[in-house]
Amino acid sequence: MPGKMDQASYPRIYVERTLALIKPDAIHKADEIEDIVLKSGFIILQRRKLQLSPEQCSDFYADQYGKLFFPSLTAFMSSGPIVAMTLARDNAIAHWKSIIGPVNSAKTRETHPGCLRAKYGTSDLKNALHGSESFHAAEREIKFMFPNSVIEPFPSREATAEYLSKYVNPTLLRGLTELCKYKPHNPCIWLADWLINNNPNQPKICDGAILEEAQ
């Protein structure tokens, strides 16, 4: 059928994800921190409270292996329960890093007094929170804390723009044109119904085709 595409052939838009950890020294403030997370525009896709063993901490922080603070880090992170969260929003990794602030909580209180590590952390080691450093780090860390997660590839800005230009804008433009033509009493409801009825991803079956199949 001309103009008809299989729904699976349409590209999808993905929202960036990052891993956030509430560390043992801030676990008593978990509810308060999670409230800040939500008010900062994040969606909490996954959440679990757990306690890691020293061996699990060593695996999680494998990129820090060999550094002087590594034994203290694994001992601290396995000293009590933590909360792991998969957070999602536009530009999630950079935004979460900006909210929690630099690693050293003592210095952060002078340079970034409004950030979460300044508020809840006490030192370079006991800095209350963790955030993924990059997309690849987020992918690995989310998989570590939530083994059943499926991490989709993150599209480039060009791919997102192409998707909107090809699959969203033409339909939306037609809908807005019809909206201006009919001038309905409740334009939001009317446009929502029009978009549902004219979804290019949803194949339509004509009454004639149904009758032919029935004969």
Question: Annotated catalytic sites, by residue?
Answer: 130
Residue located via tokens 């034994």:
71
C-alpha closest to that of 194 among 172, 168, 163, 170: 172
Are 173 and 149 in contact, with CB atoms under 8 Å apart? no
71: tokens are 């034994």
d(CA 94, CA 132): 9
Main-chain dihedrals φ then ψ at residue 82, nearest 5 degrees: -130, 165
Rounded to 5°, the CA angle 137-39-51 comes to 50
At 130, is the secondary structure helix, strand, or coil? strand
Are 25 and 53 in contact, with CB atoms under 8 Å apart? no
For 38, counting Cβ atoms within 10 Å of its Cβ (0-12 exposed, 13-18 middle, 19+ buried), the class is exposed
C-alpha closest to that of 89 among 98, 101, 78: 98
d(CA 79, CA 1): 63
